Chains A and B, each alone.
Chain A
Amino acid sequence: MTALLEVDDLHVWFELPDGGELHAVQGVSLAVEPGERLGLVGESGCGKTTTALAIMGLLPPTALASGRVVLDGVDVLAGGERTMRPHRWVDVAIVFQGAMNALNPVRTVGAQIVEALEVHDVARGASARGRAAQLLESVGIPAARGRRYPHELSGGMRQRAAIAMALACRPKVLIADEPTTALDVMVQAQILELLDGLCRDFGLALLLVTHDLPVVAQLCDLGAVMYAGEIVERGPVDALHHDPRHPYTRLLFAATPDLERGDGPVVSIPGAPPRLDRALVGCPFAPRCDRRFEPCGVRRPALRALDDGHAAACHLNGVG
């Protein structure tokens, strides 16, 4: 199968006001195949959202990117905005954390979806209105509520409307960037159920960007754990939980509380992630790692394939 979305050795730098540079993404490679659900997990500042924005071609002007982002066989990163435009929303779409920011506050949600359909030449006039109603229904919003303004909807309903809008051009891949972070648990469950259904019913592929490990464990087949701008481990979510091959993955699971108490103590990871505005020497996780040994301080481990689609960037799996 050919991947719908392929990211190859992506690097992103931000220019800092003081003249320095922040190396936010440091060589990320990933692929999303049809119907696949990949969870990109990491803590704040690890580069997961920057990766998502780079895929969408939505990086701010202060950013510099290198590598390849291939959509539908075309490298949209190399070609710049002109190459990206026909693919954005059509091949890949994104929903953000605060749905309020994605929606225009002075237009009704229905009108915004109609506009999206018209701008992309998907439908016009009455047929666009019909399709907008259909989209709203497909995300669980009664079509009549399309006449409401974003502020008249609850947080959960707004997030549904943002998802409906993202689906306007029938994208094959949906990037969901912290789609449930600001929501209550019950509403979070509703939105996750919706995403799950959309993937199942429409064969939508999902790239779920989140800090929330349990959400990935429940919703995704595959996970990629990011730390300090790179993917340090990726594989089936089951392998990540039951056979982690990078200490960060193991410690991150151990730091995540679970309802079942019998599962060992919840422990924090000492220290903090490294600053990305200076060059890193050795493994970026080494200063916080409970299993570091000689090579970790000097050589940065590369992401190596282990087995069954499982890969990790750690010298414990063999120094090479």
Chain B
Amino acid sequence: MTLLGVEDLVVRYPVPRGLLRTLARRPRVEVHAVDGVSLSVGSGELIALVGESGCGKTTTAQAVLRLVDPVAGRVRFEGQDITALSPRALRPLRRQMQIVYQDPYESLDPRLRVRAAVEEPLVIHGLGGSRASRAERVREALGRVELSPPELFLDRYPHELSGGQRQRVAIAAALVLEPRLLVADEPVSMLDVSVRAGILQLLDGLRRGGLGILMITHDLSTAARFADRIAVMYLGRIVEEGPAGEIVGNPQHPYTRALLSVVPSRDPRKRRRPQILRGEAPDATRIPPGCRFHPRCPVAIEICPKTDPRLERPAAARSPEHRAACVRV
């Protein structure tokens, strides 16, 4: 069943103009951070939202959690439209949707022991009953993130833990509310390679237990390994999406192809010929007309600056769920 449904989500931020530009009546400039994104996450599904910085993947996640308000579009959680819910009405839903951030060094309060950090969400939401039953739920949550035995960790401060352990505590603090959806924003990018796999396997296990996970990442290798489906974003839009194996093995959009080609392989015998795109993505205040990727596209044709392609099933798709937004596929 669909846990999270996002339809045509649009988020824009005004760019501060400054006094002089305001007096000179220069036009308002807006960042089109997210410009018509649709996606869904089911229970027990791990979706990776992949793209370079500034493509809008984090803003999408924030809008899903109503941490920023969309200009247009709908966010549905378990069928209920939450786009316009008041903060009060939203509150009971918040505990169903939790987020884990990139940097466990910043997301944990350095003055709180593990016990208090994991218990805090219960206290805030007035859940967990008596002190003793809250303590039991904290121990359970630590067990789920494989910090066991819990006694070893309950009284430690974040600075006494390794990076991987801190991220586990952050995940425990999200899980203690027993959410249905977890947004993981670059959950391993600050961690050492040797502990990354452990965190990803933990997320994988939680997914098997029925949790829906929306993972934001710039790392295609990680997405290829752990996601059920991958959505590739470019300048505020999803340009390609489909089952992970299909996106990695049979990419159709030229942006996805380029992104995959530059992922270095750990095997020195597999030296790929990277297809390096020149320049950098334009900023989201100046979105090119037509297909927004056309100025950097290696296979652009005459029609590309004039047509804004929709996500459609490519002719060469092997999976019925494969979609790409490119006139050439």
Contacts and interface: CB of A to CB of B under 8 A. Distances in A.
B263 A43 contact: no
Interface in B267-300: 267-269, 271, 274, 276-277, 280
B280 A215 contact: no
**Which residue, B53, B200, B264, B280, has most C-beta atoms of chain A within 10 A?**
B264
A211 B193 contact: yes
A256 B262 contact: no
A185 B220 contact: yes
Interface size class of A (residues with CB under 8 A): 35 or more
Given A185-B259, A186-B280, A259-B221, A44 B268 contact: no
B276 A193 contact: yes
B82 interface: no
A192 B271 CA distance: 13
A268 B264 contact: no
B128 interface: no
Interface in A238-292: 238, 241-242, 251-253, 255-261, 266-270, 272
B248 to A, nearest CB: 6
B224 A268 contact: no
Contacts of A267: 197, 201
Interface string A46-59: 00000000000000
Contacts of B271: 218
A257 B189 CA distance: 13
Interface in B215-251: 218-222, 224-226, 245, 248
Contacts of B199: 268
Contacts of B130: none
A268 B225 contact: no
Contacts of B267: 217, 241-242, 258
B193 A213 contact: yes
A125 interface: no
Interface in A177-215: 184-190, 192-193, 211-215
A189 B273 CA distance: 11
Contacts of B222: 257
B140 interface: no
B148 interface: no
B88 interface: no
Given A259-B260, A266-B225, A154 B280 contact: yes
Contacts of A258: 221, 265-267
B110 to A, nearest CB: 18
Contacts of B248: 259, 261
A269 B194 contact: yes
Nearest to B192: A43
A301 interface: no
A256 B188 CA distance: 12
A257 B194 CA distance: 11
Interface size class of B (residues with CB under 8 A): 35 or more
A184 B218 contact: yes
Nearest to A238: B268
A186 B195 contact: no
A237 interface: yes
Contacts of A213: 193, 266
A214 B194 contact: no
A146 interface: no
A156 interface: yes
Contacts of B193: 43, 211, 213, 252, 255-256
Given A189-B276, A193-B274, A261 B268 contact: no
B81 to A, nearest CB: 34
B224 A257 contact: yes
B196 interface: yes
B69 interface: no
A251 B194 CA distance: 8
Contacts of B220: 185, 259
Nearest to B224: A259
A199 to B, nearest CB: 15
A266 B198 CA distance: 9
Given A241-B267, A259-B221, A272-B162, A188 B194 contact: no
Nearest to B259: A185
B221 A255 contact: no
Nearest to A46: B192
A253 B221 CA distance: 13
B192 A211 contact: yes
B31 interface: no
B52 A186 contact: yes
Nearest to B271: A218
Nearest to B194: A269
A44 B192 CA distance: 7
**Which residue, A154, A238, A253, A266, has most C-beta atoms of chain B within 10 A?**
A266
Nearest to B272: A218
Nearest to A182: B53
A266 B201 CA distance: 9
Interface in B152-186: 162-164
B116 interface: no
Contacts of A43: 192-194
Interface of B: 52-53, 162-164, 192-201, 218-222, 224-226, 245, 248, 258-260, 262-269, 271, 274, 276-277, 280
Given A193-B274, A258-B265, 4 more contacts: A189-B276, A241-B266, A261-B224, A267-B201
Interface of A: 43-44, 154, 156, 184-190, 192-193, 211-215, 217-218, 237-238, 241-242, 251-253, 255-261, 266-270, 272
Across the A-B interface, give the 8 residue pairs with the lowest CB-CB distance, nearest first: A268-B198, A189-B262, A214-B264, A268-B197, A269-B194, A257-B221, A43-B192, A184-B52
9 contacts: A185-B259, A186-B276, A211-B193, A212-B264, A214-B221, A214-B265, A256-B193, A268-B194, A269-B195
